[in-house]
Structure 1
């Protein structure tokens, strides 16, 4: 593996780790967002008693959930508990929401607990294990709480103040649209979840707590530009790209799964300019007319955007989505209409069945000689992998083949896997993760996890085993 791929894998892993602490808790963020939209003084149904839950939920529940999730990712349930304890130190000591504090203290506390457990592993007398485990966690937890309260909280507060000031400067100076120059290319490289949930959401939550909404939630998650890209391919694409684009457009608009669009852009890189300019247009409207949402828009569908829009912001938020789509469509269409590539060349990258590049003949060898567990792995385990599982289950049912098919994040690929299906951009990370199992698990990489045509190869292979 060359150095460039190693760097790419490390960036993806770090980004996935950050987003992995937030994404499992998106439901809690949505609950808080709905609570805010409904019951704060400027909400739909102002209610002082119910509105009193908004602050404690944000200031205590959210950071502790993130701390628990981060700790669990490092050291399982025991790591989750110590992660939550560690997070309380920064939460109690702060005057602002400590989501980033949870993202730091949760994994840190779990890692320290893991090292402490290793010190006395195998040295505890029988019958004393529970006592030692509980007291060691209590002692480490106390130390981490004090450490977070005294040392970490002041540092994080300063960092958050600087970040917030920087964001406010960009908004006030009308420069926020320039973030599209970095965000859209990052999304195409499948860093969308890391950008949205690892960077934007913690900053946006702080703004939403003060003002009832934040435009930062929509820096990455307003996906009108990607919807516009699919429309451009639908009207001005060629061959299989043109035929498959309508399905991708529907998935993007209603499902908000950006991974179905990125392969189109990768097949015609010039169209990325359409996505960049489209997002710039959206952000310009949002910053000019004071748009924003009350909580994270996840997934980035139009329906989720509307659901998280507070009273008084519907027109601007909806306008930003469709203006971004229109700009992206016009720019991408310009490049597609000027494209002189022959139709058959486009077909090697995009096919009518599922937006992906045809792979080589499938050759699978497993230690058991059989395949029972087919695992679909995407960055977060909650987007394109879910759709891929749905497609595969339908194909297996049609072929009358009974196999277990699951979706997971790359970081959580189980040892029981007999075949892993993932995207080509994540193939390196997948292989890096499964090395720890010391078994030959085949990895089937496609450009898009909705690729029916690719999965026919798996179906045909499974038929030979029955």
Structure 2
């Protein structure tokens, strides 16, 4: 079940992440030029509504369609989604996430149904008219039926959330967010839930707290600071480097193993995150767009005028609370763990993750062969996988070895790679997407036993 949720989150990420530059551009335009912005401009402010109404949902639909059915899926995905946009009074982000892939799936099924049945010389006319006719039908159906349905459902969800916020329960979202994040479901939470809500909220107010409820880097910073001061073994040694990657680089996956190695630390994360949300809510602050990656630099860059104090206080409060609680647990701990990898294995056993233990056993004997193409993978193929690929590539160069080491999303790994490196919590999903490729699982992107074994194997085979 978790693997399916991770895959779903990965698909949402693949739709949204390539568009984040456009989202940030819209956020900057909003922050700068609306009447309450830094440099109000009536002319430039006219860009805000068309971008949020047409450009951004169509980009999402285009990416979603392309992922399902290539270029034809991308085109028909935008056609089908355009009906939603014109037929509704809200920014159709959720609709684009549905209609783009759905339209592409329909054209993909059509193409498969007529495969081998089109006479020579008629391929182009069939291809063009099929997209045109099916696109017409989808556009009309989405305008008259799907759009109003999504709009009604969206209004219902927003009303529930508004009531939730009015009752002061928003910090309780941390109880769901933090466990989901450390199980690598962070993209399901962010791209699937909070970003669409945040964009709709930002249309009305120019900012949204929903961009901050799961992305606050403060709680993770507090946890890593506690390990830096009161941790043991490799956990203590690796934590300072992890702070830079997490807080400045915005790659939150780097702190997940620290929670998995000592599950009680999830209480520190929940408390820190909830405190941050409470401060944000009390100070009535928000961001103008989703901070991707979740770096403090992204937070500050996307903070609108008049919100800096509340944003900084929220991050600082989350840091302080998680640090205090995590430090308390570390001080009273009787554990004698030697390194983060060993403790992570112990925590997985406590969670009864038998499948990962089996895979870890398989990794004790990494195959001896000539490696020429290594893929580091994660959900989006951007954060932790990019970090891992970069660091491993430097280790190979230091050994005088030059081979391809690249980062990818799990479902986008080229067939010609020799080995895939992935966090163990993503093994099941990676194996399902790449059943014929050797997989090496790791627990820590900075220093991992299996990575060291892989490096030794490559060095031996190169000599």
Structure 1 length as normaliser, TM-score?
Answer: 0.93
Counterpart of 2:115?
121
| 1:391 CA displacement | 0.5
State the SS of the aligned residue for 1:126: coil
Q: Report the counterpart of residue 445 of structure 1 in structure 2.
A: 441
Question: 1:458 corresponds to which residue?
Answer: 454
Return the match for 1:215 from 209, 219, 230: 209
Which residue does 1:3 correspond to in 2?
Answer: none
Report the 3-state secondary structure (helix = DSSP H, G, I; strand = E; otherwise coil) of the residue aligned with 1:303: helix
Distance 1:64 1:200 in 2: 19
Q: Which residue of 180, 183, 187 corresponds with 1:186?
A: 180
Distance 1:298 1:448 in 2: 22
Residues 1:364 and 2:367 are matched in the alignment: yes
TM superposition score normalised by structure 2: 0.94
C-alpha deviations, 1:300-322, integer Å up to 9, x for none? Answer: 11111000100000000010001
Two-structure CA RMSD over aligned residues (Å):
1.7
Matches within 5 A, 1:135-150: 135-150=129-144
Further displaced range: 415-424 or 160-169: 160-169
Number of equivalenced pairs: 448
Structure-2 residue corresponding to 1:27: 21
Distance 1:194 1:31 in 2: 23
- Structure 1 partner of 2:419: 419
1:385 is aligned to 2:379: no
More displaced, 107-116 or 235-244? Answer: 235-244
Contact 1:174 1:288 in 2 (8 A): no
CA contact (8 A) 1:286 1:292 kept: yes
1:455 deviation in Å?
Answer: 2.5
**Residue 388 to residue 415, structure 1, CA distance change in 2 (3 Å):** same
8 Å CA contact 2:13, 2:379 repeated in 1? no
CA contact (8 A) 1:384 1:450 kept: no
State the shift of 1:370 in Å. Answer: 3.1
Shift of the alpha carbon at 1:24? 1.5
- Matches of 1:103 and 1:346, distance apart in 2: 38
Alpha-carbon distance in structure 1 between the residues aligned to 2:264 and 2:344: 16
Provide the C-alpha distance between the structure 1 equivalents of 2:127 and 2:75, rounded to a whole number of angstroms: 12
Confirm or deny: 8 A CA contact 1:22 1:198 kept in the other structure: no
Matches within 5 A, 1:2-13: 7-13=1-7
Partner of 1:313: 307
Gapped regions of structure 2 (runs ≥ 5): 346-356
Give per-residue Cα distances to partners, 1:263-315, cap 9 Å, x unaligned.
00111111110110001111111111101101001111111100010000000
**1:318-329 counterparts in 2 under 5 A?**
318-329=312-323
Q: Is the 8 A contact 2:5 2:188 kept in 1?
A: no
- Distance of 1:376 and 1:249 partners within structure 2: 21
2:8 to 11, 14, 35: 14
Question: Is the CA contact 1:399–1:459 (under 8 Å) kept in the aligned structure 2?
Answer: no
1:284 equivalenced with 2:278 (yes/no) = yes
